[in-house]
């Protein structure tokens, strides 16, 4: 990042281009064209866009799982791009908690070992410390010590998300990345998860970037919204400011009949 006045910046995405090369499966394509975004610490950013527009790829680039073809990404002032693989992995683990689509728990491991996984990967060996940290996170997400011995197959969708959240938070990251956190949950489990995230955000003050199509999540949880379309970032700001944009994708996504009901109050506020 260019100056010191960026102390309050959690994530800075600077001139990022993503091109995928031709493969046997199909021709290559440009997914991102000069994406620029600066997100302050403590914000909850909702990343929105049509299927295949590159939301997950951007998350993967933020945590260093994929390197942009051009441009640079800084997380808490640090770019992962020039680090060797091991240092990159360690920095990403320490800075970022990740909840992938569908929770992505290891089915062979019980809940305790799933949550302990990042600690062990970072080299923690003190079993008592691991137990204390895991049980603390388990209770933080509303689960009990007894749940620790269950396997992912024994859990409901809502519990899987909670366990995945506990694992994402185990190293107390500054940045939490969530890929469609409420997808597949019924409305009650979805609302419970949003409430839990809101409560943890108030307690722990982390920054969140979440990919979602869920209008309630955008309205109730997100402090900022970023919209990807036409390979570009076509809007970034508060919900009210995004609602006021004229781009066809925004009209389609934020102003259809259901969206109008969900965002009624926000639109009235915006005038
Ligand atoms: N490793 C890769 N090699 C080639 N193409 C890829 C690769 N990863 C992603 N893509 C392509 O890049 C585009 C963006 O994919 P991405 O998964 O980031 O989209 P998305 O917005 O998250 O989609 P969805 O909402 O459906 O999850 C897609 O067309 C996808 O096929």
Q: What is the dihedral of CA 50, 53, 58, 61, to 10 degrees?
A: 150
Residue 22 DSSP one-character state: P
53-74 residue pLDDT tens: 999 999 999 988 899 999 999 9
**Does residue 53 line the site of ligand 1, with CB under 6 A?**
yes
**pTM: predicted TM-score of the whole model, two decimal places:** 0.90
Nearest CA to ligand 1 atom 25: 51
Give first-to-last CA distance, the chain, whole Å. Answer: 37
The number of distinct structural domains making up the chain is 1
Q: Which of 217, 266, 209 is nearest to 239 (CA)?
A: 266
Q: Determine whether 66 is exposed, middle or buried from the number of CB atoms within 10 Å of its CB (0-12, 13-18, 19+).
A: middle
Q: What is the largest CA-CA distance in the chain?
A: 57
Domain holding 157: CATH number? 3.40.50.300
Print the domain residue range for 16.
Answer: 4-270
**Does residue 190 line the site of ligand 1, with CB under 6 A?**
no
Report long-range pairs for 244-250 (Cβ below 8 Å, ≥24 apart).
244/270, 249/49, 249/50
Cα–Cα distance for residue pair 71/54, rounded to 1 Å: 16
Nearest CA to ligand 1 atom 23: 52
Six token digits for residue 25: 């499966």
**Does residue 26 line the site of ligand 1, with CB under 6 A?**
no
Q: The complex's ipTM?
A: 0.97
Residue the block writes with tokens 């995230």: 197
User: Do 99 and 161 contact (CB within 8 A), yes or no?
Assistant: yes
Cβ-based neighbours of 150, under 8 Å, separated by 6 or more: 110, 111
CA of 175 to the centre of ligand 1 (A): 22
115-163 residue pLDDT tens: 999 999 888 899 999 999 999 999 999 999 999 999 999 998 889 999 9
**Does residue 52 line the site of ligand 1, with CB under 6 A?**
yes
Q: Which of 31, 36, 13, 16 is nearest to 235 (CA)?
A: 36
Q: Residue-wise pLDDT tens for the chain (271 aa)?
A: 545 556 899 999 999 999 998 887 777 889 999 999 999 999 999 999 999 999 999 999 998 889 999 999 999 988 888 777 777 777 777 788 988 876 689 999 999 999 999 999 888 899 999 999 999 999 999 999 999 999 999 998 889 999 999 999 999 999 999 999 998 889 998 999 999 999 999 999 999 999 999 999 999 999 999 999 999 999 999 999 999 999 999 999 998 888 888 888 775 555 4
Cα–Cα distance for residue pair 176/169, rounded to 1 Å: 8
pLDDT for position 103? 62
**Does residue 54 line the site of ligand 1, with CB under 6 A?**
yes
Nearest CA to ligand 1 atom 2: 20
CA of 33 to the centre of ligand 1 (A): 14
Helix residue spans in 4-126 (DSSP H): 55-62, 85-95, 111-121
CA of 31 to the centre of ligand 1 (A): 8
Ligand 1 pocket, mutate which of 19, 54, 182, 209 (most atoms under 8 A from CB)? 54
Report long-range pairs for 28-36 (Cβ below 8 Å, ≥24 apart).
30/231, 31/57, 31/231, 32/57, 32/58, 32/68, 32/228, 32/231, 32/232, 33/231, 33/232, 34/71, 34/232, 35/71, 35/228, 35/232, 35/233, 36/233
Cα–Cα distance for residue pair 67/57, rounded to 1 Å: 10
**Does residue 55 line the site of ligand 1, with CB under 6 A?**
yes
Q: Taking each helix axis from N to C terminus, what angle separates 187-204 and 157-169, rounded to the nearest 10 degrees?
A: 20
């Amino acid at each position: 990042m260019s100056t010191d006045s960026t102390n309050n910046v959690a994530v800075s995405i600077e001139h990022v281009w993503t091109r995928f090369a031709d493969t046997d499966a199909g021709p290559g394509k440009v997914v991102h064209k000069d994406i620029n975004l600066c997100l302050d610490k403590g914000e909850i950013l909702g990343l929105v866009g049509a299927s295949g527009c590159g939301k997950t790829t951007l998350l993967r680039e933020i945590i260093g799982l994929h390197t942009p073809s051009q441009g640079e990404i800084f997380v808490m002032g640090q770019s992962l791009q020039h680090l060797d693989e091991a240092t990159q992995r360690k920095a990403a683990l320490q800075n970022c908690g990740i909840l992938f689509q569908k929770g992505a728990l290891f089915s062979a491991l019980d809940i305790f070992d799933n949550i302990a996984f990042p600690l062990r990967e970072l080299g923690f060996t003190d079993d008592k410390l691991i137990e204390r940290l895991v049980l603390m996170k388990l209770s933080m997400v509303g689960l009990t010590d007894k749940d620790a011995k269950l396997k992912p197959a024994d859990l409901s969708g809502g519990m899987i998300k909670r366990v995945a959240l506990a694992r994402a938070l185990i190293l107390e990251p500054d940045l939490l990345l969530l890929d469609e956190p409420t997808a597949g949950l019924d409305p009650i489990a979805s609302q419970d998860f949003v409430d839990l995230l809101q409560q943890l955000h108030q307690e722990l003050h982390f920054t969140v970037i979440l990919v979602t199509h869920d209008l309630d999540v955008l309205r109730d949880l997100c402090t900022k919204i970023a919209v990807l379309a036409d390979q570009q970032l076509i809007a970034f700001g508060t919900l009210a400011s995004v609602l006021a944009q004229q781009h066809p994708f925004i009209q389609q996504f934020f102003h259809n009949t259901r969206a109008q009901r969900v965002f009624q109050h926000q639109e009235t506020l915006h005038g």
